[in-house]
Amino acid sequence: METILKDINAVAGVTGSFVCDAGGQVMARVLPDALDRKLLIPAARTIAQTIEGLKIAQQDPIGDIDLLYDNGRLIIKSLDGSYLCIMCVQRINIPLLNLTANVAAKKLGKMVKELQRIALFRSVH
């Protein structure tokens, strides 16, 4: 997964990326050293809980979420039960980012499903 995240991070303006599951568990990350990794766990949990709440309220699938902050931008793409989170500068070229991120999201979604299937199999046996 980290290799795919590195491809995303290679897009001009991307500062880091990670994948978390619907429970907020961080599954993979490629982030700058300056970022406090202890903050990532509650952030991932908040992202997952917020999106799950939006799904219930809206009763429809949630598309991309684009959050703008003073110091940057967070783009969240649904991977069908998990989430690709991309941290970037405010003025990133979204169409250019999506060229890489949408392909990566499909690959990551398949990887996450396989990992969840393996975990479920192990928990049963």
Which run of H or E residues covers position 47? helix 37-58
Give the start-to-end residue ranges of the domains of the chain: 2-124
Burial of residue 32 (CB within 10 Å: 0-12, 13-18, 19+) is exposed
pLDDT of the chain along its 125 residues, tens only? 999 999 999 999 999 999 988 888 889 999 988 776 777 778 888 888 888 788 778 776 777 889 888 889 999 998 877 899 999 999 999 999 999 999 999 999 999 888 878 777 777 76
Rg (CA), the chain: 14
Domain 2-124 maps to which CATH number in 2.130.10.10, 1.20.140.10, 3.30.450.30, 2.30.110.10? 3.30.450.30
Supply the pLDDT for residue 46. 85
Supply the pLDDT for residue 125. 62
